[in-house]
Structure 1
Amino acid sequence: MRYTNSHLEDWIENLYRKIDITEPEQINFERIAEALDIRLSFKPVTSFALKHSGIYNICLDSRKSRTEQWYDFAHEFCHIYRHEGDKKTMPATWTDYLEWQSNYFTYHFCIPTFMLRNINLSYIQSHAIENIAWLFKVSPSFAKKRLSIYYRKLTQSLFNSAVNGKSMSPIFSTSKIF
């Protein structure tokens, strides 16, 4: 079975490699902000991002934990790097979609697939979740959701390989499927 990255996974990998981040312990929102010339500030307000005079700014809620600030950074980063336009002039359904997209992006940005694929994950789900949470400095619930996304894609790739008759896992056979 061959895992095929999505465009989002490729985009995130290319970005991280461009700023010389290739290992989980190197991921740090201050480092990312500095490498990409993003002004970072902390205030007791809801996190937000903006671009003013060509300069990207992300303001993180100072009342939140560092882990929550990391999620907010990733979410706001998606808005400034992948979304264009003034949300005030967009239909509500479009802004809802952009919010959904930023939330989904957050899982991939905080736990990049190219790093996740290099980790020997435990077959015991709770151990895999704990390991990923610790390595990527995220909560166990966040790690669980990201692993769910990852495993779903692996399962889909395996299914597609079986249906297309390509390199299948030994536990599958097209004669058993059809």
Structure 2
Amino acid sequence: MFQRYRKTHLEDYVEQLFLQHSILSPEDITIGSISEGMNIKTEYAAIKSTSLRSASGKHIIILDKRNSSQKQREDFLHELGHLLRHEGNQILLPKPFVQYQEEDAEQFVLYALMPFFMIDALELSPDRKQAIQQLSDVFAVGISLASKRYDQIVRREFDAAITATKTVAIGKRLNSVKEVKPIDAYGPQFKVYYDPTGTMDGPSQMVVFLDERTQINCREIELPIGERLPEIDPDELNEIECTPVQSTDIGCFDGVVTLSVNELVFRYGLSKRKFIINMNVVDMLIARDQAVSRRLSW
């Protein structure tokens, strides 16, 4: 049904996790099945849902027994996302790190409750309201979550279609121009800023300059982490108008750090070309990715 839809790295991660543990249908997405398959100890108490790792490395999720079964399942998946993907004590972590972890865990919940590979196997109604009701019924989730997931998929499908149309249009436009810049003149450009008062070994910020061709043709780009990049001085950094990149726009999978151009274009259109990334967020993503890889290799 969704021919142009492309999954995010997090969606791929959830899908591989589920396939690895034989979670193959909506009926398998239960606290009991996942706890048993992933060797997670689940307990219930009259406290706010939380999770922890024991001294022996055992994963433990404590769910608030006062909540409904539907809310308990959502809390379970939220805490599962923390256990599998995050490190550190949130009480001690900087606020941006905590915010990133919470946003990532919420996306994990959405993808885990309604995995795309299961949705794609359904015959959804072309009517939005009916399709949302189908998702709600099949995956046993509330209308609000079903609506959020459905609209997310449709928006990305629409974005992909628009991108394809614009790609054809820009191709025709470029072909009609007699003198075209060399291909090397196109593509994203990167500069970095080293904060002399900071504590980071590497750059504290990365500035990304996007060209129109990249905005139209690329869903995401790889960030040149670890490469020697031209530096930007403080005066130049203050003069250019940069748009901050949100933590959810950056992904790290198997050591590759990417920037979601598709999300930036959807949010700001083609008018915004200069973006700034806080490298402490990137460092945290890399550390988390390495930790996840180590756990999966066990």
Superposition TM-score, scaled by structure 2 size: 0.54
Q: Which amino acid aligns with 1:24?
A: P
SS in 2 for 1:160: helix
What is the root-mean-square deviation in Å for CA atoms of aligned residues?
A: 1.6
C-alpha contact 2:49 2:61 (8 A) present in aligned 1: yes
Aligned to 1:171: none
Aligned to 1:150: 153
CA shift for structure 1 position 2: 3.4
1:111 alignment partner, one of 114, 124, 131: 114
- Structure exhibiting the larger radius of gyration computed from Cα positions: 2
SS in 1 for 2:51: strand
Q: Which amino acid aligns with 2:47?
A: V
CA distance in 2 between partners of 1:160 and 1:23 (Å) = 32
CA distance in 1 between partners of 2:124 and 2:86 (Å) = 33
CA shift for structure 1 position 33: 0.9
CA distance in 2 between partners of 1:134 and 1:4 (Å) = 24
Change over 3 Å in CA distance of 1:151–1:2 after alignment to 2: closer
CA distance in 2 between partners of 1:73 and 1:156 (Å) = 32
CA shift for structure 1 position 151: 1.2
Aligned to 1:101: 104
Aligned to 1:168: none
CA distance in 2 between partners of 1:149 and 1:85 (Å) = 30
1:48-107 deviation per Cα after TM superposition (whole angstroms, max 9, x unaligned): 011112010101110111110111011111100011122122111210221122112211
Q: How many residues align?
A: 168
Aligned to 2:30: 28
Matched, 1:63 2:66: yes
Aligned counterparts, 1:160-175, within 5 A: 160-165=163-168, 174=169
CA shift for structure 1 position 122: 0.8
Moved more, 85-94 or 29-38: 85-94
Q: Which amino acid aligns with 1:58?
A: I
Superposition TM-score, scaled by structure 1 size: 0.88
Aligned to 1:131: 134
Aligned to 1:77: 80
| Structure with the larger RCO, 1 or 2 (CA within 8 Å, 6+ apart) | 1
Matched, 1:47 2:82: no
SS in 2 for 1:22: coil
SS in 2 for 1:85: coil
CA distance in 2 between partners of 1:58 and 1:109 (Å) = 16
The structure that is helix-richer by fraction is 1
CA distance in 1 between partners of 2:11 and 2:100 (Å) = 19
Aligned to 2:290: none
SS in 2 for 1:60: strand
CA distance in 1 between partners of 2:125 and 2:4 (Å) = 20
SS in 1 for 2:91: helix
Structure 2: gaps (5+ residues): 174-298
C-alpha contact 2:51 2:62 (8 A) present in aligned 1: yes
CA shift for structure 1 position 35: 0.6
The structure that is strand-richer by fraction is 2
